[in-house]
Each structure stands twice: as C-alpha cells, then as structure tokens.
Amino acid sequence: MSVPDAALVWFRLDLRLRDNPAWRAAAALGGPVVPVYIWAPQEDGAWPPGAASRWWLHRSLAALQASLEAQGLRLILRRGPSAAALLRLARATGATQVVWNRRPEPAARRRDAAVAAALERQGLRVASFAEATLYEPGTVAGRAPERPLRVFTAFWRAAQRLPPPARPQPAPRAVAGPARWPASLPLAALGLLPRPPWADGWDRLWRPGEAGALAALRRFRARLARYPAGRDRLAESATSVLSPHLHFGEISVRQAWHAAAGAHGEAFRRQLGWRDFGAHLLWHFPHSPEEPLQPRFAAFPWRDDPAGLRAWQRGRTGYPLVDAAMRQLWRTGWMHNRARMVAGSFLVKHLRLPWQEGARWFWDTLVDADLANNTLGWQWTAGCGADAAPYFRIFNPERQQRRFDPDQAYIRRWLPELRPGAGAGNYPPPIVAHAAARRAALAAFARLRGA
C-alpha cells in the first residue's frame, strides 16, 4: 500500500490548531504534514503589519511553535516571496499539495491567486478554505445581488437567513510530520520585536496564542451576562477583549459565536456580525482602506495641522476622555470600542483631519489592527462609509465622559495628572473649543452635501 504524499499547511492569520479547516484537511489526507509560516510583508501591499501587530505576531508564532512541538511537529519559518518559499519547501519535503485558509484583504486575494497559479504550474495541488468570518465575504446578498449591501441592518438580516455558523471542530488527534524536517529560520530572525523594546510591559497585559485566546474566551463567558448593559462603560471589564485573538486567528470566530449562545450573548453576536460586515465591505470595495466609500467625500476640505495630529496621537488634546483613550492605546496596544469612537470623532470632526491619518495611526499602534475593521470604523466615524445619515454625528467628549465614565475611573487610570491630589498643572488646555469645532464641521459637511 502506497504512503500518502506530504502536504504543506500555509499558516497566515489562523494561528491555531482547533477549528482550523486547512489544518484538519491536511491531517485528513493521512500523509506527513509540514506546517509553514512565511514572513512576506511586501505582499501586503500598502498595509504590512504595524509595529504593535508585529509584536503580537512574534508571541503568537512562539505559542504555535510550542503547540506543534508538544505533538512532535515543527513550524517551519521562511521569508517570502511566498510562492518561491512554498515551492522550495515542496521540493524539500516531497509535498504534492498545499492548503491554506482564505483572507478577505485585497492584497491577500491577489497574492493567493498568484501563488495558486505558480504552484499549479509546477504540478502541485492547492486547496483553500473559508474561515476568517462567520459568513464568507461575497455570500451575503440582498434582493439585488449585483448591488452589495451597504447598511449593516440589511446585511445582518440577510446573513441571518443563511444557515447558522457551523459548530467548531476539535484539533486532529494525531498528525504525522515528515521523516526529515526541512530547515527553518529562528523566530528572532524575522525581526518582529520592536527596537528599542518599547513593548516590554505588554507581556504582563497580554497572552498571545491559542491557549491565551481560549482562556480569554472562558473569562468572557463567565461575565457574559454583564455584556449587554456594561459593554459601553469604559471602566468596567465587560467587553470580551478578544479582538487581537480573533484577528490573528488564535480562536475562530465560530468558537466565539457558539460560546455566546443564549439571550445574554445576542448583543455580542451582533458585534461579530459587524466584524463580518467590515469584511463584506472590504471584499466588495477593495479601494476603501484609502478612499471614501462615498465618492463625494473625496472633496471634503480636510485641514493640515501637524501639531494637532501629534497632540491627538500623544493624548494631549485637553479633552480627558480623548486623551485617556489615546494613552491607553499607546501603553497597551488596545482601546475600548467606545473610546475608539470618541477619539476618532475628535480627530475627524473637531480637528477635521483626514480619517486616513487616524487609520494609519491605529494600524501601527493596535495589537488587533485588522484592515476590514479598521477601515469600517474610520469610515463610519468620518461619515464617508456605510451609513445612512452620518454628517451630524459629532461626539461631545465631555458628554460622552459623563455618560460612560461618570466616576472618571477610566480617565484617572490613564491620566495620572488628573487623579485627586496630583494637581492638573501638567494637563493641557483644550486645543479646540467643542462648540466652535462642531459649527465648523457641520458647515464643512453642509458645503459638501450641497456641492
């Protein structure tokens, strides 16, 4: 009886073994399996991983290495180009098939098509699987499929008419490796960790990897009943904080969906729907990370204010909620979603600086920087994306603080100069007056609408 040929599993943003379609498919072939990760940021187009994402990626790859080694396997690390690296590995291992999980990003789609064509020209079989979202981008459509849905409520209604997300599958019990393992780069050779080591304290805050993701999911399930009422309260631990784990695929979105079963989980499941909506929009409108979804916004009269941008980035705007949010981001690589909306609104509405500036800053500083979600959030905040009536939505940071941080616990945590007894002498005055900024923003939007 012949021995099945080896298969390569090309890991990307799916750094786990449980509920991983590509991993399960390779194991089911019955032959040796060679896990591989290829560092090729040049293939991500204009959006290679930012500094915070690279820190997380290093830790997540180390965790995946440990999981594989516990099963007698190895994670082979290579540098790109991806097609050339996979072809070399196929020759070295005798692999005849390469499997991976699909991604919705435009550059990833172009890259995967080119890689598949290159591999098939050399006689290799390729297979890819849907796993990044609950419903694969391109499958949720309204009554006119030729017109992509651009409003979340309509999108979510259409999604819920489809079969529910499949239940997550366990990791294969036994996976065999090759008789001889190919050479691998050491993880440090990828150069993912920052120099100087500004993220050293993050190891106390985060636990990247599949085990850390599952632990975070268990903690969230224990407090799921608090989520509907508490998810907007900035000082409470009511949110899931699963976003970086979901972005790097350390758990599947299906695992998160099924963990939130029951009445208390509906609000969280709706947020997972927003995540799908972002991927849906990016799939249909691949230009949206750089250009507004609504073309008329290309003529919006944005300001040029380097000093204002730097004050926003450093949390020195003179608005405590905005500044607390930006300092939380700088110190932890993460920010509460309510705080993201307030800080983003301040940049594009109060300072009238381009939303692309905010998107780029978040991309570099967030550990959960996801192109679809980042684009959706910033275009929604700027009012140029998938929204019916956005122009008058201008968050008042002081009112938002009174509503969502009434005891100032969140503000005092991140702004030590505003803690009782500290004195506020080092805290700056507001760099812009809210009322005047609101009038100017509404006037700019009105001119745009009338153009």
Q: How many CA atoms lie within 13 A of 23 on its CB side?
A: 27
**Residue 180 covered by a domain:** no
Nearest 5 degrees, angle CA 372-CA 135-CA 131? 75
Q: Do residues 154 and 122 both lie within one domain?
A: no
* The two three-digit tokens of residue 450, written as one number: 């009338």
Cα(7)–Cα(4) distance, rounded to whole angstroms?
Answer: 9
Q: Look up the domain containing 347 and give its range.
A: 295-450
pLDDT confidence of residue 316: 98
**Residue 144 covered by a domain:** yes
Torsion over CA: 89, 211, 62, 340 (sign):
positive
DSSP label of 449: H
Cα(380)–Cα(384) distance, rounded to whole angstroms?
Answer: 6
* The two three-digit tokens of residue 317, written as one number: 């705007």
Q: Do residues 376 and 396 both lie within one domain?
A: yes
Which of 3-12, 236-245, 309-318 is predicted with the least confidence, judged by mean pLDDT? 3-12
Record the pTM.
Answer: 0.96
Q: Do residues 108 and 149 both lie within one domain?
A: no
DSSP 181-242: PPP---GGGG--S-SS-TTGGGGGT---SHHHHHHHHHHHHHTGGGHHHHTT-TTS--S---
- The domain tally of the chain equals 3
Q: Do residues 271 and 367 both lie within one domain?
A: no
pLDDT confidence of residue 389: 58
pLDDT confidence of residue 423: 72
**Residue 22 covered by a domain:** yes
Burial 163-201, CB ≥16 within 10 A → b, else e: eebeebeebbeebbbbeeebebeebeebebbeeeeebee
Q: Do residues 217 and 331 both lie within one domain?
A: no
* Residue 197 in this model has a pLDDT that exceeds 90: no
**Residue 159 covered by a domain:** yes
Q: Do residues 431 and 338 both lie within one domain?
A: yes
pLDDT band at 3 (very low <50, low <70, confident <90, very high): low
Instruction: Starting at the earlier edge strand, list the strands of the sheet with 125-129.
Output: 76-79, 33-39, 7-11, 97-101, 125-129
pLDDT one-digit tens code per residue, 56-106:
999 999 999 999 999 999 999 999 999 999 999 999 999 999 999 999 999
Q: Do residues 307 and 245 both lie within one domain?
A: no
Of the three residues 105, 131, 157, the one that is the final residue of a domain is 131
Q: Do residues 258 and 360 both lie within one domain?
A: no
For residue 416, say if its preceding peptide bond is cis, omega within 30 degrees of 0: no
pLDDT averaged over every residue in the chain: 95
pLDDT one-digit tens code per residue, 133-180:
999 999 999 888 889 999 999 999 999 999 999 999 999 998 999 999
pLDDT band at 451 (very low <50, low <70, confident <90, very high): low
Q: Do residues 419 and 366 both lie within one domain?
A: yes
pLDDT confidence of residue 390: 60
**Residue 206 covered by a domain:** no
* The two three-digit tokens of residue 312, written as one number: 């926003």
Cα(350)–Cα(435) distance, rounded to whole angstroms?
Answer: 9
* Residue 425 in this model has a pLDDT that exceeds 90: no
Q: Do residues 265 and 368 both lie within one domain?
A: no
Of the three residues 264, 284, 304, the one that is the final residue of a domain is 284
Region of residue 249 (phi > 0: left; psi between -120 and 50: alpha; otherwise: beta): left
- Residue scoring higher pLDDT (389 or 13): 13
**Residue 193 covered by a domain:** no
**Residue 357 covered by a domain:** yes
Of the three residues 284, 309, 344, the one that is the final residue of a domain is 284
pLDDT band at 450 (very low <50, low <70, confident <90, very high): low
pLDDT confidence of residue 184: 98
Q: What is the mean pLDDT of residues 199-228?
A: 96
What CATH number has the domain bearing residue 20? 3.40.50.620
* Residue 247 in this model has a pLDDT that exceeds 70: yes
* Residue 446 in this model has a pLDDT that exceeds 90: no
Q: Do residues 50 and 156 both lie within one domain?
A: no
Cα(102)–Cα(339) distance, rounded to whole angstroms?
Answer: 31
Cα(5)–Cα(96) distance, rounded to whole angstroms?
Answer: 6
Cα(395)–Cα(383) distance, rounded to whole angstroms?
Answer: 12
Q: Which residues contact 254 (CB under 8 A, 6 or more apart)?
A: 19, 134, 165, 166, 167, 168
Q: What is the CB neighbour count within 10 angstroms for residue 300?
A: 20
**Residue 258 covered by a domain:** yes
What CATH number has the domain bearing residue 280? 1.25.40.80
Cα(139)–Cα(152) distance, rounded to whole angstroms?
Answer: 15
pLDDT one-digit tens code per residue, 313-325:
999 999 999 999 9
pLDDT confidence of residue 314: 98
Q: Do residues 373 and 319 both lie within one domain?
A: yes
Q: CB–CB of 26/9 below 8 Å? A: yes
What CATH number has the domain bearing residue 314? 1.10.579.10
pLDDT confidence of residue 1: 42
Bridge partners, residue 33, by sequence: 7
pLDDT band at 391 (very low <50, low <70, confident <90, very high): low
Region of residue 423 (phi > 0: left; psi between -120 and 50: alpha; otherwise: beta): left
Counting residues of the chain whose pLDDT is more than 70, the rounded percentage is: 97
Rounded alpha-carbon distances, angstroms, from residue 403 to 22, 346, 363, 407, 437: 45, 17, 28, 10, 21
Q: What is the CB neighbour count within 10 angstroms for residue 405?
A: 24
Region of residue 34 (phi > 0: left; psi between -120 and 50: alpha; otherwise: beta): beta
* Residue 409 in this model has a pLDDT that exceeds 70: yes
